[in-house]
Amino acid sequence: AQKITQTQPGMFVQEKEAVTLDCTYDTSDPSYGLFWYKQPSSGEMIFLIYQGSYDQQNATEGRYSLNFQKARKSANLVISASQLGDSAMYFCAMREGGKVTGANSKLTFGKGITLSVRP
Amino acid sequence: DSGVTQTPKHLITATGQRVTLRCSPRSGDLSVYWYQQSLDQGLQFLIQYYNGEERAKGNILERFSAQQFPDLHSELNLSSLELGDSALYFCASSVSKGRGYEQYFGPGTRLTVT
């Protein structure tokens, strides 16, 4: 079974509007972390936001927020006030297991969602 | 700029050849991860090193090997290359402190096997 599922094939949003990118995950580990990365056409992977499984509040980083619904195992990324530079591929990823100082576990990635921002 | 460096940026080689990809982690990061991104397989974890020791292996082929040196830079060696090895290879390093121990990625090495 896929551990990270991103089913939206492609998303379009008007500049300055908000957009939600969906991510569901599957794990039996009570301790895990969820991450979102952005990959523009240039290819680099840019870390956006992190949510821990025990975090009580949804994570926010500037225009990015993570809508974490633990019972539904979803971790959707919300981008507010979209900008043309937000056009990119977005990946949801999960780290399973608790944090072990300095020896952290791998990330498992979803297939990604393409976001296009229209002027 | 993530602080993780990778060289070379592009590599074109022929089938059967051997190449070495190099990665320098962010200052102070002890963990280095290698990932492969291809159109059919997506982003896949290959191998992790922590302070010079191998910590975890993913879907890494036997033709591939890696090591981490005392100065913490890492090299990924790919041998007997096949067309299917063409991909974007990322190195990432993990912060030593922080909430999520997030991984910061280098710019990647795009390998084309002809």
Mean pLDDT of the region A24-50: 94
Q: How far apart are CA A43 and CA B90, in angstroms?
A: 10
Is A104 a residue whose pLDDT tops 70?
A: no
Other CB atoms closer than 10 Å to residue A11's CB: what's the count? 16
Listed in sequence order, the residues at least 6 apart from A22 whose beta carbon sits closer than 8 Å to its beta carbon are: A6, A7, A8, A74, A76, A113
Give yes or no for A109 touching B (CB within 8 A).
Answer: yes
For residue A110, the SS3 value is coil
Q: Which residue of A has its CA nearest to B88?
A: A43
Within 13 Å and on the Cβ side, how many CA atoms surround A23?
A: 28
pLDDT tens per residue across span B44-92: 999 999 899 998 899 899 999 999 999 999 999 999 999 999 999 999 9
Cβ of B45 and A108 within 8 Å? yes
Q: How far apart are CA A71 and CA A68, in angstroms?
A: 9
Least confident of A28-32, A43-47, B106-110: A28-32
Cβ of B101 and A45 within 8 Å? no
Pick the closest to residue B89 from B29, B21, B40, B25 (CA basis).
Answer: B21
Pick the closest to residue B68 from B88, B46, B48 (CA basis).
Answer: B48
Q: What percent of chain B has pLDDT over 70?
A: 95
Is A103 a residue whose pLDDT tops 50?
A: no
